[in-house]
Amino acid sequence: MTLEIDWTRCDGHGLCAALLPDRISRDEWGFPVLHGTKLPPDTAVRRAVAACPALALRLTRT
Amino acid sequence: MTTTMGRLAADPASATWTIGAARVLAGLDRNAVLDARTHLDTHGPLPAADLGRLLGLLDASGLTGRGGAGFPLAAKLRALRGQRPTVVVNGSESEPASVKDRVLLRRTPHLVLDGALAVAVALRGRRVTVAVHDAAAAAAVRTAAAQRPDGNRVRVELVSGGFVAGEARALVRALDGGPALPPGRREHATDHGVLLANAETFAQLAVLIRLGRHRFADTGTRTEPGTTLLTVGGAVGRPGVVELPLGTPLGIVLAAAQAGQPRLVVAGGYHGSWHPAVPAIELSRSGLAAAGGTLGAGVLLVLDDSTCALGELARVTAWLAAESAGQCGPCRFGLPALARDVQALCQGHPGAAEIALRHARAVDGRGACRHPDGTARFVTSALHLLQDETYLHLHHGGCGRPVLGLLPIGGRP
Amino acid sequence: MTIWMIARGAGLSALILLTAATCLGALVSGRTATRPDTRVLLQYAHRVTASLGLAVLGLHLTMILADSFAHVGWMGALIPFTSGYRGLWVGLGSIAAYTFLLVAVIGFARGRLTGSARATAAWRAVHGAGYGAWALAMLHGLRSGTDSGVAWVRWIYLACLVAVIGSVAARAVVAASPGRFRAVDGVAR
């Protein structure tokens, strides 16, 4: 699965980084930085996708 | 030099010249505008071509989009086979240093329409929409459409908007009545039943249909046959729109453009890259890729020792930052930070170059469109090249040269 | 008689839990809390109260159906405005329950729905139907509840009203501040 960010929706809330600290960090403005986009579809990743207040995260099959 | 650039910006239709035989620009040395008759006299009638023949020609020539992204036209046609798409000619040309598409639409509109209508006929599309940002090009295309029997299928749309609005998907949205902004998801114009390509791409296709694959490949390189258009500007005696065989060495273009003491070139436009004026660099997609750059939107700007290169970089970076549509956070905050870094570098702040490189990496690939990526490439390539200037600005309070504004921003015709 | 008492107690409990879920929902989306960790906790609280609220709502419905003296019956409970007992107000309760269920389902599917551009764009508006469901539930409780006359029950209704109005107001205040990127504005400038 690939984790993608819709940058037109992302407002830098930071919930994804709080839930996936070893996969997502935040840049100096607060926007997420993905450490590799290929992810196993595990619970933690799905939880982060569901937590995004702006619905800016999505998992796609690739 | 600034005056010649100024004249070019004010009247993009002023100068065209060629290296080798003129194809796309044929007839423009004798005529201000090719109307229906002079167009036919110059190029001859357009042979009919069904989809199979078009695809054969496109596969043989490998014709790619000439707007910057360089996507193969054949792949777009295949994606839309059987869908009767709208054909969109992207003539918005939002790159401020580029005038080639406007020159084509204003001075040889029939050639562009030939290519676009051929695609529409082959794909059984209903309409051709020509999207432009300036009124003169719109008027020229309308006049041309009125002169030809198939012109009733042509619609001209005068769209407004900045740099980012010329991006293909932003344009498709604007034509659909939406905002002129790139969408947040990976999608292509073809997903919307739209075949969109740059104005030059359609003109090149019209040339390809007339010449056939073999004669088309008489010039250019083996992998990239044919010619390309470049808008040449900056510190040159002959600025203008130039048609040249793909693969022409940079040195030949610089000599023909009467560049006195060229030191640096900006290739591909403001999403392109900076290079030393090495005569051997091949002006083709693969040639520039080998030099770490891109042919991009077909722009070649020359800098000599008359201007402060760092100052030029700072002006353009500030302009690029202001052109961010502001819809993606890293671009909205990162590009202004990058522009401040480059400005600080000009003012001799220690460490500014490192911070600028860090900010360039921070915005790369993190937006709905390629604006942050392109800006990062532009700034990074310049900073790697301008280390002598950086040293002078850091330790001697500057390079002692004025900022002439050889890299045009805003004030577009 | 016990069944009837459970039905009433479950109804009131469901209202309290779903009020809490509504308030937490307003607070978590309105960026009234700014620390990501706090907001993650608020989200969990929102989901837990909503799930519990729906479970207790199920109990409320089951007990109403189980009680032969209630004169509501399957039809009256499932098809709005067909109940013999206070048809209008019981009907509002049915509509509220359906809406809460819909809102919960799309809330649960939130992560999966981001795969579709259209669903993503519509999600917030549809999920916002929860506010309407809450208002209907309040009316339903006040007008068809047996205990609405009891003083401490009235205080509970008032507290629910104040809590939701307060949370929505807090959300509206944050939403009215200019520009996007509010979450990062403090950092960025």
Q: Do C40 and A46 touch (CB under 8 A)?
A: no
Least confident of B17-31, B167-181, B223-237: B167-181
Are residues B203 and B159 part of one domain?
yes
Closest CA–CA distance from residue C42 to any residue of chain A (Å): 11
Q: B337 to chain C: nearest residue by CA? A: C188
pLDDT at B13: 44
In a domain, B10, yes or no: no
Q: Do B333 and A29 touch (CB under 8 A)?
A: yes
Closest CA–CA distance from residue C160 to any residue of chain A (Å): 25
pLDDT at C1: 65
Residues in chain C: 189
Question: Can you give the residue ranges of every domain in chain C?
Answer: 2-188
Interface of A with B in 4-43 (CB under 8 A): 4-12, 27-31, 33
Are residues B281 and B263 part of one domain?
yes
What mean pLDDT is predicted for residues B59-73? 89
What mean pLDDT is predicted for residues B92-119? 94
Closest CA–CA distance from residue C108 to any residue of chain A (Å): 8
Mutate which of B176, B186, B332 to disrupt the C interface (most C C-beta within 10 Å)? B332
Are residues B384 and B296 part of one domain?
no
Please name which of B268, B267, B320 lies closest in space to residue B296, comparing C-alpha atoms: B268
Q: Which CATH class is domain A2-60?
A: alpha beta
Q: Do C183 and A14 touch (CB under 8 A)?
A: yes
pLDDT surpasses 60 at B2: no
Pseudo-torsion of CA C38, C41, C42, C47, nearest 10°? 160
Structural tokens at position B313: 């970089």
Are residues B165 and B114 part of one domain?
yes
State which amino acid sits at residue B171. Answer: L
- State how far the Cα of C111 lies from the Cα of B32, in Å rounded to an integer: 59
What φ, ψ does residue A22 adopt, rounded to 5°? -90, -5
> Which residues on neighbouring strands pair with residue A59, listed in sequence order?
A3
- In CATH, what number is assigned to the domain containing residue B359? 1.20.1440.230
Last residue of a domain, one of B280, B303, B326: B303
Are residues B145 and B43 part of one domain?
yes
Partners of residue C28 in chain A, C-beta under 8 Å: 53
Summarize pLDDT for B146-204 with one digit per residue, the tens. Answer: 999 999 999 999 988 778 877 888 888 888 888 888 888 877 777 788 899 999 999 99
Q: Do C110 and A15 touch (CB under 8 A)?
A: no
Closest CA–CA distance from residue A22 to any residue of chain C (Å): 15
What mean pLDDT is predicted for residues B120-148? 94
Please name which of B324, B14, B389, B386 lies closest in space to residue B182, comparing C-alpha atoms: B324
Chain B adjacent subunits, 3+ CB pairs under 8 A:
A, C
| CB-CB contact of A32 with A49 (8 Å) | no
3-state helix, strand, coil in chain A (%, to 5): 25, 25, 55
* DSSP category for residue B195: E
Please name which of A15, B212, B394 lies closest in space to residue C43, comparing C-alpha atoms: A15
> Is residue A27 helix, strand or coil?
coil
Partners of residue C181 in chain B, C-beta under 8 Å: 329, 332-333
Structural tokens at position B150: 């198939």
Q: Do C111 and A46 touch (CB under 8 A)?
A: yes
List Cα–Cα distances, C142 to B8, B260, B349, C55, in angstroms: 77, 88, 69, 21
B184 part of contact set with chain A, CB < 8 Å:
yes
| CB-CB contact of B101 with B93 (8 Å) | yes
Q: Do A8 and B368 touch (CB under 8 A)?
A: yes
What mean pLDDT is predicted for residues A2-8? 92
What mean pLDDT is predicted for residues B12-30? 86
ipTM of the complex: 0.93
In a domain, B119, yes or no: yes
Q: How many CB pairs under 8 A join A and C?
A: 64
Are residues B48 and B122 part of one domain?
yes
Are residues B386 and B250 part of one domain?
no
Q: Do C187 and A18 touch (CB under 8 A)?
A: no
A19 part of contact set with chain C, CB < 8 Å:
yes
Are residues B257 and B184 part of one domain?
no
Three-state secondary structure of chain C: CHHHHHHHHHHHHHHHHHHHHHHHHHHHHCCCCCCHHHHHHHHHHHHHHHHHHHHHHHHHHHHHHHCCCCCCHHHHHHCCCCCCCCHHHHHHHHHHHHHHHHHHHHHHCHHHHCCCHHHHHHHHHHHCHHHHHHHHHHHHHHHHCCCCCCHHHHHHHHHHHHHHHHHHHHHHHHHHCCCCCHHHHHHHC
Query: Residues of chain B with pLDDT > 90: what percent?
Result: 78
Q: Provide the residue range defining the domain that includes B266.
A: 227-303
State the pLDDT confidence band at B8, using cuts at 50, 70 and 90.
very low
Are residues B233 and B106 part of one domain?
no
Task: State in Å, rounded, how far the first CA of chain A is from the last one.
Answer: 6
Q: Do B367 and A7 touch (CB under 8 A)?
A: yes
Structural tokens at position A60: 């796609």
Chain C adjacent subunits, 3+ CB pairs under 8 A:
A, B
Last residue of a domain, one of B190, B216, B242: B216
Last residue of a domain, one of B184, B216, B248: B216
In a domain, B412, yes or no: no
Are residues B72 and B147 part of one domain?
yes
Are residues B247 and B211 part of one domain?
no
For C56, residues 6+ apart whose C-beta sits below 8 A from its C-beta are C10, C13, C14, C17
User: pLDDT (tens digit, 0 to 9) for every residue of chain C, 189 residues total?
Assistant: 688 889 899 999 999 999 999 999 999 876 666 788 999 999 999 999 999 999 999 999 999 888 766 677 777 778 888 777 777 888 999 999 999 999 999 999 998 898 888 899 899 999 999 999 999 999 999 988 888 888 999 999 999 999 999 999 998 888 777 667 766 655 443
Partners of residue B355 in chain A, C-beta under 8 Å: none
Summarize pLDDT for B193-227 with one digit per residue, the tens. Answer: 889 999 999 999 999 999 999 999 999 999 999 99
